[in-house]
Amino acid sequence: MKDGITLRLAEPRDAHAIAALSRDHIEAGLPWKYDAARILRAMRRRDTVVLVAAEGRSVRGFAVMDFGDERAHLALLAVSPGHRRRGIGRRLMEWLLESARTAGIASVHLELRSGNEAARRFYRAMGFSETILVPGYYGGRESALRMIRVLRAPGEVPLAWQPPWLAQK
């Protein structure tokens, strides 16, 4: 716990707070897609992590990341305006990146509004590189900037440990 903020997996009681943060600070001006029902569905998926930065029972930030075989996709990340610039977003991203490395993920991908300079700077500082601009990505209204962070070369995951009977052959 740092500054009273704890990172933990989201619980069903967090869904409304997460959805509200998404609506107000990620999806503002766009049709609302990540309502509480969708957040609850994400929490139930085995290949998705919904992580919250909580202060007591209050959600101050969150992230949603989908894991594939070699790629992970950061779907959402937000910190409430009154809690920004305190390292909460960085802590959420570091937790997710470490989880991705542990899972053998080769790269993490994301999209953000192309005009969101603060998010661009944040993701660059987290080691992400810009890849492509996608016109009209957000409801035909706004362009998205895709970014990637490479964690390892793609291909087979090297085994870090083998049972003794395999090592003896």
Contact indicator for 77, 60 with CB cutoff of 8 Å: no
**Average pLDDT over every residue of 68-94:** 93
**What kind and span of H or E run contains 77?**
strand 71-79
pTM of full prediction above 0.95: no
**Which residues belong to the active site?**
111, 123
Q: How confident is the model at residue 60 (pLDDT cuts 50, 70, 90)?
A: very high
Contacts of 161 (CB under 8 A, 6+ apart): none
54/18 Cα distance (integer angstroms): 11
Task: Work out the mean pLDDT of the chain and round it to a whole number.
Answer: 90
Percentage of residues in the chain with pLDDT exceeding 70? 91
Distance CA 23, CA 50 (A): 16
- What domains are defined for the chain? 6-167 (3.40.630.30)
For residue range 112-134, what is the model confidence (pLDDT) as tens digits?
999 999 999 999 999 999 999 99
Q: Does 167 have pLDDT greater than 60?
A: no
